[in-house]
Amino acid sequence: MIAILYWAAMVAAVALLIGAIFLAKTLNAMAKTMDAVTKTMGTLDTQVTGITTETELILNKVNTLVEDVNGKVAKIDPVFDALGDIGVSVQDLNSSVRNMSSTVSNSVKMTEEKVSNTVSYSNAFVMVRELLKKRKEHKKSTTKRKLTRRISK
């Protein structure tokens, strides 16, 4: 029975030794991995520092460009204001031309009516005059005939 206990202690010791060996290998592999991670993090830190520096330079250039563009836009703003004023002036001019055109058109229509009435009155006057002339001529010729008849009688 004591022998079984020795054997069991021995098996337990061997198992513990095997477990310790596997644990040591695992910890060793983990240490190598941690070293690789540390090196990677150091490289990454260097690269991030470089990227950060470049990003700051780019942001400074962008800020300078934005200020330059804002200054140029501020200089151009009066031009756009003037163009807007020109647009309003052109609209006013168009409205004035439309109103004037409408007034002239109405005036021409009224003048046409007056001219048409005048022509109508003139035609009527000429017709009345011709009728009066014909009557007068007819009256003269009738009077001449009567005189000639009286004389011939």
Q: Which two tokens stand for residue 109?
A: 């229509």
In a 3-state reduction of DSSP, which class is residue 75? helix
Determine the distance from the C-alpha atom of residue 39 to the mean position of all C-alpha atoms in its chain, rounded to a whole number.
56
Domain ranges, ordered by start, for the chain = 1-128
pTM: 0.39
Location of structure tokens 């009567």: 146
Q: Which two tokens stand for residue 111?
A: 């003048």
Distance of alpha carbon 83 from alpha carbon 132, whole angstroms: 71
pLDDT (tens, 9 = 90+) of the chain, 153 residues, equals 788 888 999 999 999 999 999 999 999 999 999 999 999 998 888 888 888 888 999 999 999 999 999 888 888 888 878 878 888 888 888 888 888 888 888 877 787 787 788 888 888 888 888 888 888 887 777 776 666 666 665
